[in-house]
Chains A and B, each alone.
Chain A
Amino acid sequence: MLGPILETLIGGLLTGVLYSLVALGFVLIFKASGVFNFAQGAMVLFAALALARLSEVMPFVLALALSALIMVALAYAIEFLVLRRLVNQEGIILFMATLGITYFLDGFGQSLWGSDIYKIRLGLPQNPIFILESVFPGGLLIDPAELVAAVICAVMVAVLAVFFQVTRVGRALRAVADDHQAAQSVGIPLNHIWLMVWAVSGIVALVAGMIWGAKLGVQFSISLVALKALPVLILGGFTSIPGAVVGGLIIGAGEKLAEVLLAPVLIRWFDLAGGGIENWFAYVLALVFLLVRPQGLFGERIIERI
Chain B
Amino acid sequence: MRAPAGNTMEAGDLLLAVDNVSLAFGGVRALRDVSFDISKGEIRAIIGPNGAGKTSMLNVVNGFYQPQQGSITFKGATRAKMRPFEAARGGIARTFQNVALFKGMTVLDNIMAGRTLKMHRGFFWQLLRHGPALAEEVEHRRRVEDIIDFLQIPHIRKIPVGKLPYGLQKRVELGRALAMEPDLLLLDEPMAGMNLEEKEDMSRFIVDVNNHYGTTIALIEHDMGVVMDLSDRIVVLDHGIKIADGTPSEVQNDQAVIEAYLGVAH
Give chain A's interface residues, CB within 8 Å of chain B: 163, 166-169, 171-172, 174-175, 178-179, 181-192, 300-301, 303-305
Q: Is B162 an interface residue (CB 8 A)?
A: yes
For A188, give the chain B residue with the smallest CB separation.
B116
Chain B binding surface, main DSSP class: mixed
Given known contacts A184-B64, A185-B84, A305 and B163 CB-to-CB distance under 8 angstroms: yes
Cβ-defined contact, B104 with A171, below 8 A: no
Q: Is B46 an interface residue (CB 8 A)?
A: no
Cβ-defined contact, B103 with A187, below 8 A: no
Given A168-B133, A171-B105, 10 more pairs with CB closer than 8 A: A166-B130, A174-B105, A184-B88, A185-B84, A186-B117, A186-B177, A187-B88, A187-B116, A189-B85, A303-B103
B105: which of A166, A168, A178, A187 is its contact (CB, 8 Å)?
A178
Chain A binding surface, main DSSP class: helix
Cβ-defined contact, A175 with B117, below 8 A: no
Q: Is B205 an interface residue (CB 8 A)?
A: no
Assembled-state Cα–Cα distance A169/B123 (Å): 8
Assembled-state Cα–Cα distance A49/B124 (Å): 32
Assembled-state Cα–Cα distance A78/B101 (Å): 27
For B105, give the chain A residue with the smallest CB separation.
A174
Cβ-defined contact, B119 with A168, below 8 A: yes
Cβ-defined contact, A172 with B117, below 8 A: no
Q: State how many residues of chain B have any CB contact under 8 Å with chain A.
A: 37
* Shortest Cβ gap from B79 to chain A (Å): 16
Assembled-state Cα–Cα distance A47/B94 (Å): 42
Cβ-defined contact, B100 with A175, below 8 A: no
Cβ-defined contact, A187 with B89, below 8 A: yes
Cβ-defined contact, A169 with B102, below 8 A: no
* Chain B residues within an 8 Å CB radius of A171: 105, 109, 112-113
Cβ-defined contact, B64 with A181, below 8 A: yes
* Chain B residues within an 8 Å CB radius of A178: 101-105
Cβ-defined contact, B162 with A185, below 8 A: no
* Shortest Cβ gap from B214 to chain A (Å): 21
Cβ-defined contact, A301 with B104, below 8 A: yes
